[in-house]
Amino acid sequence: MSKCLERSGVFKLTLAACVLATPTFADGFGLGRTALPEEIQAWDRDIRPGGAGLPEGRGDVYTGEEIFADACAACHGDFAEGVGNWPVLAGGFDTLADKDPVKTVGSYWPHLSTVWDYVNRSMPFGGAQTLEPDEVYAIVAYILYSNDKVDDTFELSHENFAEFEMYNEGGFIVDDRAETEYPTWRTEPCMQDCKDSVEITMRASVLDVTPDEGEDDASASQAAPAQDSTQVAALADGGSGAEASVQTAALDPALVAEGEKVFRQCAACHQVGADAKNRTGPALNGIMGAEAGRIEGFRYSKAMKAAAEDGLIWDEASMAAFLTRPREFMQGTRMAFSGFRKESDIEAVIAYLKSHSE
């Protein structure tokens, strides 16, 4: 090697030429070695649609919700609804035929293995491959729950993984371009008699599709639009404070206590109590029996404003229907929570909300 470089004067010969000119490396560059099986395995992380390649592990929805809140919600929202331009992970089932479809894990992705593989490889943002397999299973279970694919007691594992058929699994076709199109493209290109003029015939309809630097701030998950923390203490029917006290006293204390526990699923967006303020969602003091969209200064969705104009009152029946399936009860609502599965949870939350009439 040294003699070769000496003959090259001021290194005019390339390193490759020098290496090849040396008899010791006549059969190759002499660099590297064959990778060991365990080294290949360390890089071989791909997961197949049938579950092949999955590590052993398991994770339930409840655990996944906690991990998601800590590691994912800053970008994807507490309920997988997305924050700013960061991706929405839930919903959009009836939009795929629209001009601007909502392509989420639930509405668009064809295989659950893609979800597991992507979370395992690339998430969380800035901390890729820091999650343990059990944590990945739990997060994927929570994403399934957010898309109404499983109930809140579900546990995902390597054993039941292959049982899931995604909503849009049949919406994809086999890529046959190698047989049908490539032969047409791979011909000698024409370089003459081109078009007389070049015109712009189409423009992108959505331009702000890339999140700005810094939008991953944890506070983004609770970006509160509130300018006014006004709280309505009186019931919508004009009930006095005495009447409200009687109503509160009639509630089952055990049911109210259970409702407080269940309400933790709502607390990321809504507050109740003496110091309650508007957050992503409005403060809920006095909501039972009140008119919809009643808090001045809070930016309600168009759907909620329309419901208020139609005279919606939050009685037990309407609140129960909303908490069961918010998006079915009020199409266009910004509330990302998919709804409670258990009637007992709904009953408990309503009792808890009644206990905060002031």
Question: Which is more confidently placed, 341 or 306?
Answer: 306
Segment holding 3, helix H or strand E:
helix 2-7
The residue whose two tokens read 């991990």 is: 67
Question: Residue 125 above 60 pLDDT?
Answer: yes
DSSP structural state of residue 42: H
Q: Rounded to whole angstroms, what are the CA distances from 263 to 44, 47, 76, 233, 349?
A: 42, 37, 21, 20, 6
Same fold, 58-171 and 241-354: yes
Averaged over 105-126, what is the pLDDT?
A: 93
Q: 177-210: buried (b, 16+ CB within 10 Å) or exposed (e) per residue?
A: eeeeeeeeeeeeeeeeeeeeeeeeeeeeeeeeee
Closest CA to 158 of 271, 47, 16, 80: 47
Residue 328 clears pLDDT 70, i.e. is over it? yes
- 8 Å CB contact between 74 and 83: yes
Where are the domains positioned within the chain?
Answer: 58-171, 241-354
CATH number at 241-354: 1.10.760.10
Which of 86-100, 126-140, 231-245 holds the top average pLDDT?
Answer: 126-140
Q: Residue 321, class by beta-carbon neighbours within 10 Å (0-12 exposed, 13-18 middle, 19+ buried)?
A: middle
Across the chain, mean pLDDT equals 79
* 275-301 pLDDT, tens digit each: 888 877 888 999 999 999 888 888 888
Q: How much is the pTM?
A: 0.49
Q: What share of the chain is helix, strand, coil (3-state, %, to 5)?
A: 40, 0, 60
Q: Which CATH architecture is the domain 58-171 placed in?
A: Orthogonal Bundle (1.10)
